[in-house]
Amino acid sequence: MSGAANGRITSSAALIRTAVNPDCDLVAAIALEQESEPEIYRQIVGRKYEGEYGIRPSLVRRGAKFEINNHANDAMPLRKRIAEAFGYAGPEDVLVRDLDKEEPVSGHVHIGNLRRFRKTQKIVLNAYRRKADIPDLVIHPTLELPLLKAPDGQPLIRGSRYLNPDFMVLHRALGVYLIGDEKSFIVRDDTVVEPGKLDQVRRQIASGTLAMRHELQSIDRSAPIISDGLLIFASPYGLSASKMVQENLAGEIRQIENAIPQLQRVAVTLATLRAQGLHQLAAMAPHLNTQLRESCYGRCIMVQHCEQLPQNAAAALGSDVQKLLGGKTPGEIAALAATAGLLPRRETALLEGIKQAAHVLGIDIATYLQEVA
């Protein structure tokens, strides 16, 4: 489950969440509110979240160490991989700028991001204009992606979100930058050892690429439409950078693009509810659609809440159990069991099948309905 240390999900994570589950108004609302997820859970559910939240500290430390190793000595490990991937003579041929050092984001985060964004804008513009001494590698740039619009269709002044990719690399032939991400997942024999995590990384890079597209379009409406992203993973021999991989992310970019109208629609819904006197997300939640699906588990803090909602009963039960129950809820099955001798043939057969499933598990039907279904 992704989440920042303070419980607020990042802008890229908000886009990813909405792209993964574009039919859920609640997940889009949580993304838009930019509040602490555990606090939102407490307000809606009425109790403190008891499960594990956020990234485990050990993984945070591992990721931080991986970045430190990659950025050491003017990012020499990264420059080596860039030189290999892009055919440069050597790492000394790769010019680097580290915006973490030039423009630290501390104190007022919004102001810090704005300053770094202005610096990133100038770098992107100068690269597109093929000026001299343009960096090939920029560490921790800041980009802006417009998300929300006013009723007249114009972008809102505060309707954009800042995105902070790990790095970007200049495609010299095009004069544009490709977005990259560093993850301490281990690569062995050119295969990611933890492939389940790769999907989220690709979507994260896609979010940054979409923001880069927006920046290039503001410079030149006929600028190249980039779809490739760069990935750096860890080798199995300590936290050192494996080779750089360039992948086409057109599919993930489309998914992120499709999530933006959902965020815009939910933003209008939230504004309408506030105009009606509902201001806290807990008060607005009953008016928001939810869509429980398999991808929610392990990603969204609200899973247990959504499992209890009537509209998610089938998804919460699971397709196999739901099929076995004949589309009925456990409560309805329990009511049938109480009048077993008076049931029609079809419902008697349904009840008998459920009893057999419970028998295989070595439990009675009441326990099955309570613990399994």
Query: pLDDT-derived band of residue 175, with 50, 70 and 90 as boundaries?
Result: very high
pLDDT exceeds 90 at position 284: yes
What's the whole-number mean pLDDT along residues 159-186? 91
pLDDT exceeds 80 at position 149: no
- Report which of residues 238 and 64 the model is more confident about: 64
Q: CA-based Rg of the chain, rounded to a whole angstrom? A: 25
What's the whole-number mean pLDDT along residues 23-41? 84
- Burial of 303: CB neighbours in 10 Å, binned 0-12, 13-18, 19+: middle
Selection from 13-27, 136-150, 207-221, 259-273 with the highest mean pLDDT: 207-221
Query: pLDDT-derived band of residue 340, with 50, 70 and 90 as boundaries?
Result: low
Contact at 8 Å (CB) between 337 and 331? no
Selection from 66-75, 169-178, 260-269, 284-293 with the highest mean pLDDT: 169-178
Domains of the chain by residue range: 11-51+276-312, 57-245, 318-372
pLDDT of residue 30: 85
Contact at 8 Å (CB) between 209 and 177? no
pLDDT exceeds 50 at position 83: yes
Distance CA 72, CA 75 (A): 5
What's the whole-number mean pLDDT along residues 226-246? 87
pLDDT of residue 220: 96
Which of 66-80, 89-103, 258-272, 355-369 is predicted with the least confidence, judged by mean pLDDT? 355-369
- Report which of residues 310 and 355 the model is more confident about: 310
CA 68 to chain centre: 24
Across the chain, mean pLDDT equals: 81
Position 76: which residue type? M
Quick: pLDDT tens for 251-280. Answer: 999 999 988 888 888 988 998 999 999 988
Q: Is the pTM of this model over 0.85?
A: no
pLDDT of residue 1: 42
pLDDT of residue 302: 85
pLDDT of residue 357: 57
Position 278: which residue type? L
- Report which of residues 4 and 76 the model is more confident about: 76
Which of 105-109, 186-190, 215-219 is predicted with the least confidence, judged by mean pLDDT? 186-190
Size (the chain), residues: 373
pLDDT of residue 361: 46
pLDDT of residue 335: 66
Distance CA 11, CA 17 (A): 10
Distance CA 373, CA 358 (A): 10
Query: pLDDT-derived band of residue 190, with 50, 70 and 90 as boundaries?
Result: low
pLDDT of residue 319: 45
pLDDT of residue 209: 97
pLDDT of residue 182: 92
- Cβ-based neighbour number of residue 52 at 10 Å: 8
